[in-house]
Amino acid sequence: MSRKTSFLLFTTSFIGGLAAGLLLSPKKGKQNRAWLSENALELSRWARIQRRIAEHKSSREIDKLRKNIQQGIRKNIPDLYEATDTIPLSDDNILNE
């Protein structure tokens, strides 16, 4: 299972569990809303930190991928200037053909 799928599964499970807990809670709606408003700030801080961590990790992974692609291209595709450097061409050869 990929990380993206795992994260999506975790997020939907968390939200579904939260919704079920609120619907089945023995507390009244007003008490639930008060609890949610108290803990929403902490949850938003946690989510912001997790987003920053994810952005940092993803940018590192993208940089690694970019470097690997560049190295693969350099290794497997010849430099055309170097490959054609030894071919003797003059203006006469180019114009006569």
Range 57-68 burial, b when 16+ CB lie within 10 A, else e: eeeeeeeeeeee
Q: What's the Cα-to-Cα distance from 92 to each of 23, 72, 81, 83, 86, rounded to whole Å?
A: 87, 38, 20, 21, 17
Amino acid at 21: G
For 45-97, how does the pLDDT look when each residue is reduced to its tens digit (9 = 90+)?
888 999 999 999 999 999 999 999 998 888 887 777 777 777 777 766 666 65
The pLDDT of residue 96 is 62
Alpha helices in the chain (DSSP H): 3-24, 29-76, 80-83, 91-96
Name the one residue in this structure whose structure tokens are 């408003």: 37
Distance (Å, whole) CA 11 – CA 74 = 41
The pLDDT of residue 95 is 66
User: What is the token pair recorded at 59?
Assistant: 């940018």
User: Is 3's pLDDT higher than 70?
Assistant: yes
